[in-house]
Structure 1
Amino acid sequence: MAAAKYHGVELDPRTFMGEPDEPSPSPATLVRWLTDQGLVAKGMRLKWRYLVRMSNTPPIVLMFKDGSAGVMVAADAANDLVWLRDPMGTESDPALAVDELRLSQVWTGDVLMVRRARDQAETEMPVDMRWLTRVVMREKSLLRDIGLSSMVLSVLTILPALIVMQVLNQVLAHHSLATLFSVTMILIVLTFYETMLSYGRRELVLVLGARVDSRISIHIFNRLLALPLEFFERNQTGIVIGRLFAIYKVKDFLTGKLLTTFLDLFTLLIVLPFLFFLNASLAWMVVATAGLIGLVVIIFMGPISFYVARSIAAEQQRGSLLYESVAGIRTLKTLALEPQRKQLWDERTAEATRWRLAAGRMSNWPQTLTMPLEMFISRGVLLIGALMVIKGSSGMQGGSLIAFMMLGGRVASPLISFAKLLEDFTEVRTSLGEAGAVLNNPTETKALTTGMRPKIKGALSFIDVDFSYPGATTKALDGLNVEIPAGTMLGLVGRSGSGKSTVTRLLQGVSRSYTGYLKLDGIDMREINLTHLRKSFGVVLQDNFLFRGTIRENITAGRPGLTLDDVVRAARLAGAEEFIERMPAGYETFIEEGSTNISGGQRQRLAIARALISDPKLMILDEATSALDPESEALVNANLTRIGRGRTMVIVSHRLSSLVDCDLIMVMERGKVEDIGPHQVLLERCAIYRQLWMQQNRHTNPENRGAGPAPLLAEGD
């Protein structure tokens, strides 16, 4: 707390979620928490002699053996002392001087270094080739070791060729068995060292790839979660997932072909001068032929890029259909939609196959045109070199020719690979663009990690609030002005499209592009830390998602450290206790994916219990009882008064009977407040409310008992 406050960040201890099996938070767990709060933290182990010299550093957190911690605010190496302060205290609290002996009795040796994140942290950088290169370059020590081993391997590549040349030119001419034996032993030793170095380099490359893969995976998932809800509402889930996975093609390119080719360039830089030493004419032939291969590839880059982009887009459309079919399998089966989906899948498959085949055919042309050039390097150069040996015009001997061919392949391979990298780069650039189309959207990171963290009481104020959805021609909220005291149970009613659910979206911080002022306890919502805001709310939607896991894990999803007593209390308030206790495993009953083993009403009551577990001061129920059967709805409605005790509640419902006991009911019409007041008052003075009430309760009027059902005009938003 004190270390964070030094950097201008206020932390809320209630947002901390430790590991379930940890008796006290570890440095790694604290690092993750502080990172989520917008700080940069690093845990390390230090010895006293280093700690006491850190006198000009910001506060350092010291981890103690009993699970607590202390903040080191000063150090004096001359007197061998450090000064500690309680991390939960204030700056006015006196610091305690501690020497090595006293500290060693309580200190684990672990420290936590904390600093404020830079304005343009790596997590907020655009996902492009520059960012990916930075991710790879963070492994400088591995890259250094890989480069060093490549240089040694390049030198070892030359020696066997030199030895073979000497064997052919000298040993065979003089029939010296002793020299041949010595040369053989040298070759065996060189082969052993080259094999071991190659193994070590491959191992380093694998470790590099694994680390880069982990960093990319963590980053893209964090970046995905930081995107606003509006982004996911506008884009197909299957398309989003397909674009995200395209980044792994880029990762494979960076740690695969690109890295291998650049490693081979070490060989090129060392071996190529030696080839010119053996025979300049043949060396120039190899270089010129590789240049021609590169020219052919460059010519075809444009057309290949076009077809590759179409192929990737078609694959994403097919993947989106697959995801949608699996996600909606229940609807698909119940409506017998298999024939239609099969037809659509066949069409998407045909489209993807057509573009993939077109891309493959276009890629086949440069491969076909460059094949004769590659063959010339391996065969034509040999024939020309043999002619030079026969004529003796260049002074080249048979041993030199064999040595040239041994090394020529090592030179030609990276040259050809480097030329073909341009072809691969086309697909990589397209894949990176696809991933960037998702990951480079504006995120909520700043709102999630900065801002005020006030203690929530629940008073709401709407002052001239206007809001329009992107692309809409009319306002969803138009000059909304209303004051809601803390502890009020507020009902929201109105016809479809009147703006009821829009109000709840603004309260949750889903949309912040409104004009005017929306205040919570006198503080504008846009100034409040978004994570703190959402954790302080309890939200129950019309269709709630339960995670695969036990009932207890689902209820404590946002507060995993809470006890079973807390779970039972929340379940009792939500009216879920009675059906949970009837289950064989009680609160440890496992909920399958899609909540297939519980009813819709049970799922809704578990969602209400999940919202209540943190005892929020403000709750939002957006059509929360619409999926309940009459018995379950009556049970939840009976508990609403108890649920709302001591907290502000905003209840959106098209069933006006569930809002009768609300302190206030706000009637909305076309984004404006038509009227606000208790149920009986609105029945007398608000025509819209009275009409909605009569439509839903006409069966209670004897005069209307044979009439047909009236449409429910208050449904949804």
Structure 2
Amino acid sequence: MAAARYHGAELVAADYRGPITEVTPSPASLVQWLSEQGMVAKAMSLKFRYLVRMTNTPPFVLIFKDGGAGLFVGADPARGVVWLRDPMGTEGDIPVAVDELRLSQVWTGDVVLVQRSRNQSENEAPINLAWLTRMVLRERRSLRDISIASVVLSLLTIFPALIVMQVIDKVVNHHSMATLIAISMIILTLTSYETLLSYGRREIVLVLSTRLDSRIALVIFSRLLSLPLEYFERQQAGTVIGRVAQIYKVRDFITGKLMSTFLDMFTLMVILPFLFFMSSTLAWMTMAAAGLIGLLVVIFIGPVGRLIGRVIAAEMRRANIMYESVAGIRTLKTLALEPSRRVEWDVATADVVRAKLDAGRMANWPSTLSMPLEMFISRGVILVGAYLLLTGSSTLGAGGLVAFMMLGGRVASPLVSLAKLLEEFTEVRSALGEAGAVLNQPTETKALTNGMRPRIEGALSFEDVNFTYPAGSTKALDEVNFEIPAGTSLGIVGRSGSGKSTLTRLLQGVSRNYTGFLKLDGVDLREINLTHLRKSFGVVLQDNFLFRGTIRDNITANRPGLTLEDAVRAARLAGAEEFIERMPGGYETWIEEGSTNISGGQRQRLAIARAVITDPKLMILDEATSALDPESEALVNANLKRISKGRTMIIVSHRLSSLVDCDLILVMERGKVADLAPHEVLVERCAIYRQLWLQQNRHLDPQGNKRVTPAPLLAEGD
């Protein structure tokens, strides 16, 4: 924390979440956590002789053997000591001088270097060709090794052609067995070197490809998670997934065709001068044919690119139908919608087929037109060479002509591949554009990593808060003003569209483009670190999502390092312990996808347990009991009364009976505050609240007590 504070960043130790298997933080997990907090961190091992020379460096962390750490603040090479300070202390603490002997007894040799990110990193830069280029260039060392190996291999490819030329011109013509034996030994030696070098290059290319693949995947998923919730609410999930998946076409292009063409270019650069030396006429003919192939490809780039764009769009529409069908399979089966969905799928498939046929037919033209040129390179050049040889226009012998053909094929292939690469590049550019349409949206990265991290108590204040949804024409919140002290249980009621859930969205930082001031414990919500804010809240929604995994994993989802005892304590507080213990595996019971093996009430109680496990000072329940049966609702409400002690509770509900015991109830009407008071006061003075109450509770009197109905009188007969 102290090293980060030096760079102007405030971190909280409680936010650290390392692997559950680690008793003490490792350098790798610390680096990962610091990176998630917007810092640039690197773990490395150092010898004391290098450590003592670091006299002009910012503070960094030394990892100790007992799991502790020391803050390096300076060194004195002349005295052979380094100056350390307690990282959990204050800046006024006096550093301690430590020599090599004393430090070696406690120090592991590992350090964590920390600095604040000043430039736009690849995690935030736009997803485009420039970003892609930077990703590749980060592997400079591997690219250098590959380049050296490729140049050497290209040089080695010249020797077999020269050897064949010697075999034809001297061994065969002069029947020289000694020369044949010598040439055979040379071939064996060169073959061994080429085999080993090829293996080494393939290994480096494989490592480079996997590193690029993993780095792209990490950046993509991180970028996707940093997109605001509002974006996902406006987009179809299938479209988002389909567009993001296009980045894998880019990955395959980089690690496949582009890499192989890049390696072939070294062969071209080495062999081409040698071909001109052997026969400039045949070399120019080979270059001209390859150039015409490239020209054909360039001409068709535009038309093919447009048709490929149609293919991608059609595939995404079809993927969206697939995603919606799987995600809504319960509704689809219940309403017997299979025939209509099949029709939609058939139409979408037909669109994909037509688009692919059109694109394939257009792409077939340059391949067909270039085929005679490719045949001329592989077959026609040798005929021209033979003609030049017979007419005496060339000094190239029979062996030289065969050698030229061997090397000419190695030259023509990279040129043709380079031309065809442009065709594939069009598809990759379209795919990159589709992925960028999602991944280049404004993210919450800055809000998630920057900002204040105050201690949360739960006092709320709304001052002239106005908010309009991006696609809305009217205000969802209109001059909202109210405040509540910490520890208050606040119910929020109102008709549909009155702004109840919008208030909770603003509190969670889902939407930040409001006007006015929304303060939490006197601090404007927009100034608070978004990660810190959301971790300080406990949120229970109407339809809570449980991940596929064990009950324990779901309860401790936002704190993986917590123990089983912590999960049991949270489950007991949420009233979930009794049904968990009846499960076959207890807390290790597996929850299936979609939570199909537990009831709605059980799911809600698990969601409450997940929310209270971090002991939040502020909890938000947005229609948390509206979908429950009366018995489950009564049980959850009883648990909430116990949970609300010592916390600020924000409870949104359309069932007013569940809010009677709240300290205050906020009545919303068309985005405005209609009233704020306890239940007893509202039924007396607030017409909106009284009307809602009477609509739902006609069997009760306005104060919430059961109304006594007199027994009917028996009619007396004559």
What TM-score bracket applies, with the shorter chain setting the length?
A: over 0.9
Which stretch shows the higher mean deviation, 500-509 or 398-407? Answer: 398-407
- The offset of 1:396, in angstroms, is 2.3
- The offset of 1:505, in angstroms, is 0.2
Paired residues for 1:58-457 under 5 Å? 58-457=58-457
Distance 2:476 2:221 in 1: 32
Match of 1:17 in 2: 17
Distance 2:426 2:565 in 1: 59
Match of 2:552 in 1: 552
Match of 2:716 in 1: none
Match of 1:34, SS state, is helix
Which stretch shows the higher mean deviation, 445-454 or 693-702? Answer: 693-702
Which stretch shows the higher mean deviation, 204-213 or 634-643? Answer: 634-643
Distance 2:511 2:696 in 1: 32
Match of 1:4 in 2: 4
Distance 2:267 2:573 in 1: 72
Letter in 1 for 2:615: D
Check conservation: 1:247, 1:435, Cα contact below 8 A: yes
Distance 2:393 2:301 in 1: 42
Map Cα deviations across residues 158-210 of structure 1 (whole Å, 9 max, x no partner): 11111111222222222211111111221122122222222221121111100
Distance 1:682 1:153 in 2: 86
Distance 1:556 1:505 in 2: 23
Check conservation: 1:466, 1:514, Cα contact below 8 A: yes
Sequence identity, in percent? 72
Distance 1:186 1:87 in 2: 65
Distance 2:260 2:567 in 1: 55
Match of 2:626, SS state, is coil
Distance 1:23 1:431 in 2: 44
Match of 1:464 in 2: 464
Distance 1:587 1:247 in 2: 39
Distance 1:630 1:199 in 2: 70
Map Cα deviations across residues 32-61 of structure 1 (whole Å, 9 max, x no partner): 111111111111111111111111111121
- The offset of 1:319, in angstroms, is 1.1
Distance 1:651 1:172 in 2: 96
Match of 1:538 in 2: 538
Gapped regions of structure 2 (runs ≥ 5)? 710-718
Match of 1:519, SS state, is strand
Paired residues for 1:640-679 under 5 Å? 640-679=640-679
Letter in 2 for 1:176: S
Match of 2:498 in 1: 498
Check conservation: 1:604, 1:627, Cα contact below 8 A: no
Letter in 2 for 1:440: N
- The offset of 1:564, in angstroms, is 3.0
Match of 2:676, SS state, is strand
Map Cα deviations across residues 139-165 of structure 1 (whole Å, 9 max, x no partner): 111111100010001111111111111
Distance 2:574 2:160 in 1: 79
Match of 2:715 in 1: none
Cα 1:626–1:397 shift into 2, 3 Å: same
Match of 1:513, SS state, is coil
Distance 2:2 2:700 in 1: 63
Letter in 2 for 1:629: D
Distance 1:296 1:669 in 2: 67
Match of 2:619, SS state, is strand
- The offset of 1:560, in angstroms, is 2.1
Match of 1:478 in 2: 478
Match of 1:451, SS state, is coil
Distance 2:203 2:578 in 1: 58
Letter in 1 for 2:353: T
Map Cα deviations across residues 93-140 of structure 1 (whole Å, 9 max, x no partner): 111111111111111111111111123122111111111111111111
Distance 1:168 1:25 in 2: 69
Match of 1:122, SS state, is coil
Which stretch shows the higher mean deviation, 623-632 or 493-502? Answer: 623-632
Distance 1:638 1:173 in 2: 103
Map Cα deviations across residues 289-338 of structure 1 (whole Å, 9 max, x no partner): 11111111111011100110000111111111111111111111122211
- The offset of 1:587, in angstroms, is 1.8
Map Cα deviations across residues 678-716 of structure 1 (whole Å, 9 max, x no partner): 0010000111100000000124479999xxxxxxxxxxx
Check conservation: 1:267, 1:410, Cα contact below 8 A: yes
Match of 1:124, SS state, is coil
- Would you say how many aligned residue pairs link Structure 1 and Structure 2? 705
Letter in 2 for 1:282: L
Map Cα deviations across residues 202-231 of structure 1 (whole Å, 9 max, x no partner): 121111100000000000000111000011
Match of 1:711 in 2: none
Distance 1:537 1:120 in 2: 30
Match of 2:359, SS state, is helix
Map Cα deviations across residues 401-443 of structure 1 (whole Å, 9 max, x no partner): 1111010001111111111111011001000001101110000
Distance 1:491 1:416 in 2: 71
Distance 2:81 2:654 in 1: 68
- The offset of 1:641, in angstroms, is 2.6
Distance 2:644 2:522 in 1: 21
Distance 1:396 1:31 in 2: 63
Letter in 2 for 1:664: L
Match of 2:352, SS state, is helix
Distance 1:191 1:67 in 2: 54
Match of 1:126, SS state, is coil
Letter in 2 for 1:602: Q
Letter in 2 for 1:495: R
Distance 1:577 1:272 in 2: 77
Letter in 1 for 2:558: G
- The offset of 1:451, in angstroms, is 0.2
- The offset of 1:6, in angstroms, is 0.7
- The offset of 1:374, in angstroms, is 0.3
1:521 aligns with 2:521: yes
Distance 2:51 2:230 in 1: 48
Distance 2:202 2:561 in 1: 44
Letter in 2 for 1:356: K
Match of 2:594, SS state, is helix
- The offset of 1:278, in angstroms, is 1.1
Distance 1:585 1:167 in 2: 77
- The offset of 1:381, in angstroms, is 0.6
Distance 1:126 1:592 in 2: 37
Match of 1:309, SS state, is helix
Letter in 2 for 1:372: P
Which stretch shows the higher mean deviation, 664-673 or 6-15? Answer: 6-15
Distance 1:639 1:181 in 2: 92
Cα 1:166–1:565 shift into 2, 3 Å: closer
Match of 1:35 in 2: 35
Check conservation: 1:249, 1:428, Cα contact below 8 A: yes
Letter in 2 for 1:572: R
**TM-score of the superposed pair, with normalisation by structure 1:** 0.97
**Alignment RMSD (CA, Å):** 1.4
Letter in 2 for 1:234: R
Match of 2:561 in 1: 561
